[in-house]
Amino acid sequence: MNFFKQKPRGPTELVKSVRDGLGKVDTGPIEARRRAAEGVAKDLSQIKAMLFGDGDPLPEVVAQLATETYSNDLLNLLVFHISKLDFEARKDVAQIFNNLLRRQIGSRWPTVEHLIIPGKPREVIFVALKGYENEDVALNTGMILKEMLRHEPLAEILLYSDEFFSFPHYIEETTFGVSCDAFANFKETLTRHKPMVAEYLEKNYDRFFAMYSRLINSSNYVTKRQSLKLLGEILLDRANFNVMTRYISNEHNLKVIMNLLKDKSKNIQFEAFHVFKVFVANPKKPPTVEAILQRNKEKLLSFLRAFHNDKEDEQFSDEKQFLIVQIEGL
C-alpha cells in the first residue's frame, strides 16, 4: 500500500501548474523544455477530465476551473504556446478551450465576456487565426477559431480588424487541408451574424471587395469556385440588399462575372451564372451596366441557350429562361 499517494490536485493547482509549465516550454535547455511540455500535457489531461467528467462534470468544479483560467489568462497562453505541445496535448487545448467557450449561465457566456475585455484576452482570436501559418497546429487553432466565430462579439472583433484581410493569404498560400479550413472560417465570419456583417460590408465596401476580387480571380480552382459561390450567397441574402445593389450597379463587376461565365470549368461557369443573374434581374440597371448587356446581347443569348442544357434542375432552367427573356427585351 502506498501511504504517500499524492492528493488529487484541484483547479487552482492545475491551472497554476499549466501556466508555469507554459512559461518553460520555449526557454532553457532542450531537455528542460521537453519535460515542461510533458508536464503541461499531463495537467491538460486532468483539466479535460474535470471539464468533461464521466458525462456529468461537477458544476462547482467547472466554475472554479473557469475562474482560475480567466484570472491566469490561461486561454491566451494555451493558444499562444500550442505549437510547443505534442499532438494529444494540442487536441486537449482545443477541447478545453471550446468547452469553456460553450459554458453558459442563464443568458450569459462567461468565457466570451472574458475574451472581449479590452487588452490581452482579445488577442487570442488573432493568435488562433495566425495558427494557419503553422500546418502542425492549423486545424487545432482552426477549431478554436470556428467556436469563437459563433459568438457575435468575437466575430465582430475579427471582422473589424486588419487581421481579417489575411484570410486570402491563408486560403491561397497554404496546403489543401489548411486552405479549406481557412475558407470555412472566412465564410463563417461573413454569414453567421447577418445584420452585423451587413453593416460592416456597407461601411467597408471598397476595401472588402478589393480583397474579395483576389479570391474570385484566383488561379486556384477550388478557391475560385468556393469564392464565387459565397459571393452569390452574400449578394442574395436579404440582409445585404444595399451591398448587392451597389455591387450590381458597377460595370467593372459585371465584366468580371461575364468573363467567368466563359471559364473553361463548367462548375465555375455555373457559380458565375448565379451572380450574373442578379445583374440581369435588376429592374433599375444603371445606363453603363445596361449598355454592356445590350452590346453583348446576341452573344449572351447564344451562350445562354446552349448553357448547361444537360443539367436536370428545374429551378436552374426557369432562371435561365427568365434571363433569356430579360436580355431579349433589352
User: Residue 212: which CATH number?
Assistant: 1.25.10.10
Answer yes or no: is 298 within a domain.
yes
Q: Looking at residue 15, what is its pLDDT?
A: 95
**How many separate helices (H) and strands (E) can be counted in the chain?**
20, 0
Answer yes or no: is 153 within a domain.
no
Answer yes or no: is 125 within a domain.
no
Q: Looking at residue 257, what is its pLDDT?
A: 96
Mean pLDDT of 89-99: 97
Q: How confident is the model at residue 7 (pLDDT cuts 50, 70, 90)?
A: low
Answer yes or no: is 164 within a domain.
no
Sign of CA dihedral 215, 218, 220, 222: positive
Answer yes or no: is 216 within a domain.
yes
Mean pLDDT of 45-55: 86
Q: How confident is the model at residue 165 (pLDDT cuts 50, 70, 90)?
A: very high
3-state DSSP assignment of residue 10:
coil
Reported as a single tens digit per residue, the pLDDT across 294-312 is: 999 999 999 999 888 887 7
Q: Which residue has the cell 445590350?
A: 294
3-state DSSP assignment of residue 262:
coil
Give the whole-angstrom CA distance, residue 330 versus residue 328.
Answer: 6
Give the whole-angstrom CA distance, residue 42 versus residue 93.
Answer: 12
Q: Looking at residue 28, what is its pLDDT?
A: 83
Q: Looking at residue 6, what is its pLDDT?
A: 58
Q: Which of 179, 90, 88, 177 is nearest to 141 (CA)?
A: 90
C-alpha cell at 112: 466570451
Is pLDDT above 90 for 329?
no
| Number of separate domains in the chain | 1
Answer yes or no: is 304 within a domain.
yes
Q: Which domain holds residue 225?
A: 193-330
Answer yes or no: is 120 within a domain.
no
216-230 burial string, b = 16+ CB within 10 Å, else e? bebeeeebbbbbbbb
C-alpha cell at 35: 519535460
Q: Are 269 and 262 in contact (CB under 8 A)?
A: yes
Largest CA distance in the chain: 93
Mean pLDDT of 81-98: 96
Answer yes or no: is 43 within a domain.
no
Give the whole-angstrom CA distance, residue 148 versus residue 192.
Answer: 12
